[in-house]
Amino acid sequence: MAGSFDDRQKSFESKFAHDAELQFKVEARRNRLLGEWAGGILGKSGDALKDYAREVVKSDFEEAGDEDVFRKVHGDLGDKVSEADLRAKMTALKGDAKRQVMEEVEG
């Protein structure tokens, strides 16, 4: 009986780690997509656009949650995009990112 309990515990731990890794990938992908979108609004292209998207991804490591990313992009965009529109775009891109990551995992 102890063996089956240990097996279940290891299974749950493995699933938790897998889910956490997927969540991290989804958020990083969303942030890259957001950086590409916002960078386009800012008139960036080529390497400058890629660099900006990386800056947005890195901004997520400042604190837990999405507010650090929101502040970065909102500060950069200024009045070009409303706060509500930016939050809606972040939500929409999270869905896109999740679909992309899941297709890669399953594919």
CB-based burial label for 3 (10 Å; 0-12, 13-18, 19+): exposed
pTM for the model stands at 0.86
The model's pLDDT over 35-54, given as tens digits with 9 standing for 90+, comes to 999 999 999 999 999 999 99
Q: What is the pLDDT of residue 24?
A: 92
In the block, residue with structure tokens 């992009």? 73
Q: Residue 77: which residues within 8 A CB-CB, separation 6 or more?
A: 38, 41, 42, 86
Is there a contact between 59 and 72 (Cβ–Cβ < 8 Å)? yes
Q: What pLDDT is recorded for position 80? A: 97
Number of domain units in the chain: 1
Tell me: pLDDT of 6 over 80: no
What is the reported pLDDT for 11?
78
Using only the alpha carbons of the chain, give its radius of gyration: 18
CATH number of the structural domain spanning residue 93:
1.10.790.20
Digit-coded pLDDT (tens) for 58-72: 999 888 889 999 999
Per-residue pLDDT at 2 exceeds 70? no
* Domain with 33 in it: 2-106
